[in-house]
Amino acid sequence: MPPTPAAWQAAFEAALPYHDFLSRHATPDQRSRWDAFHANVSLLPAQKTVLGGFVRRMPVLVLSGAWCGDCVNQCPIFDHFAANAPSIALRFLDRDARPDIAAHLKVCGGQRVPVAVFLSEDFQPVLIYGDRTLSAYRAAASAHLGDSCASGAVAPPADAVAAVVADWLDQFERVHLILRLSARLRQVHGD
């Protein structure tokens, strides 16, 4: 049975903000990888404008692992989004901390990370998206990386980062528009 809104809310409240998540779960080497990628992410002015226009509160719960290369190369992007959209409430949950939640966030039957759960202000699930974006999968397929996942030790090229930023922003914007156009939420907010 999928989690109820109350269960999503409890998981969200147990999760940690970006920097607290890294302080608790990352080793110094892992933290340096996350910090290096975070410094490598930049948003275009048009992307900041899109994010600045978000008006609905959007809790985003990210199932993650500080050890995960895919997380290193994506999750810092979310922190940039949240910094530019005060309506985004961003929290990170270690994959192994809440197996009851992680069990509902499998990708192709496996425990993949990162997986973002986009929620409405009353913790109704709107979208579950992960573990890599289409651009990242295209790059992986063209490079034939094999069976192992990236370690995050080598940052992807800038154009690949920009493509993943754009892919994730599309999902964040999609959810915002779903929330903004929701008849239920429009009635609540009188707009």
What pLDDT was estimated at residue 147? 47
My answer on whether omega of the bond before 59 falls inside 30° of 0, hence cis, is no
- Higher pLDDT residue, 173 or 137? 173
φ and ψ at 117, to 5 degrees? -110, 115
pLDDT per residue over 75-103, tens digit each? 999 999 999 999 999 999 999 988 889 99
| pLDDT the model gives residue 154 | 58
What CATH number does domain 5-189 carry, 2.40.340.10, 2.40.440.10, 3.90.700.10, 3.40.30.10? Answer: 3.40.30.10
Distance CA 122, CA 13 (A): 13
Higher pLDDT, 53 or 142: 53
* Per-residue pLDDT at 1 exceeds 60: yes
pLDDT in tens, 100-143: 899 999 888 888 999 999 999 999 999 999 989 988 888 877 77
Q: Where are the domains of the chain?
A: 5-189
Q: How far apart are CA 156 and CA 173, in angstroms?
A: 24
Task: Check residue 160 and give its pLDDT.
Answer: 87
Q: Please check whether residue 115 is in contact with residue 107, taking contact to mean a CB–CB distance below 8 angstroms.
A: yes
Average pLDDT, the chain: 92
